Copies of this chain bind each other. A is one copy, B any other.
Amino acid sequence: MRFFSDNAAAAHPNVLEAIAAVNRVDTAYDGDEWSQRLDGAFSDLFGSQVRAFWVTTGTAANCLALAALCPPYRAILCHRDAHIEVDEAGAPGFFTGGAKLVLLEGPGAKITPDAVSDACEAIRDDVHQVQPAALSITNATEYGLVYRAAEVAALGDVAKRRGLAFHMDGARIANAVASTGESLADATWRAGVDAMSFGFVKNGGLNAECLILFRPELADEIAVRRKRAGHLLSKGRYLAAQILAMLENGLWLDNARAANAAAQQLAKAAPQRLIYPVEANEVFLKVSGDEEEQLRRQGFDFYEWGPGQIRFVTSWDQRAEDVEKLASAIASL
Residue contact B20 to A16, C-beta cutoff 8 Å:
yes
Q: How many residues of A contact B (CB 8 A)?
A: 74
**Known contacts A23-B11, A235-B207; is-contact A90 B73 (Cβ 8 Å):** yes
Residue contact A228 to B10, C-beta cutoff 8 Å:
no
Q: Is A97 an interface residue (CB 8 A)?
A: yes
Residue contact A7 to B29, C-beta cutoff 8 Å:
yes
**Contact for A127 among B16, B89, B238, CB less than 8 A:** B89
Q: Is A331 an interface residue (CB 8 A)?
A: no
Interface 0/1 of A4-20, CB less than 8 Å to B: 11011111000010011
Q: Is A229 an interface residue (CB 8 A)?
A: yes
**Known contacts A29-B7, A98-B97; is-contact A89 B2 (Cβ 8 Å):** no
Which residues of chain B are within 8 angstroms of A9 by Cβ–Cβ distance?
A: 25
Residue contact A128 to B87, C-beta cutoff 8 Å:
yes
Which residues of chain B are within 8 angstroms of A75 by Cβ–Cβ distance?
A: 90
Residue contact A207 to B233, C-beta cutoff 8 Å:
yes
Which residues of chain B are within 8 angstroms of A29 by Cβ–Cβ distance?
A: 7
Residue contact B90 to A98, C-beta cutoff 8 Å:
yes
Residue contact B227 to A229, C-beta cutoff 8 Å:
no
**Known contacts A89-B128, A206-B235, A224-B73; is-contact A23 B16 (Cβ 8 Å):** yes
Which residues of chain B are within 8 angstroms of A228 by Cβ–Cβ distance?
A: 73, 88-91, 94
Q: Chain B: which residue is nearest A59 at the CB level?
A: B230
13 extra interface residue pairs, beta carbon distance < 8 Å, beyond A16-B20, A127-B224: A7-B235, A56-B207, A57-B231, A59-B227, A71-B221, A72-B90, A73-B225, A86-B129, A88-B128, A89-B127, A91-B229, A91-B230, A127-B226
11 cross-chain CB contacts under 8 A: A8-B235, A10-B25, A11-B23, A19-B19, A86-B129, A91-B230, A94-B229, A128-B227, A201-B233, A207-B238, A231-B231
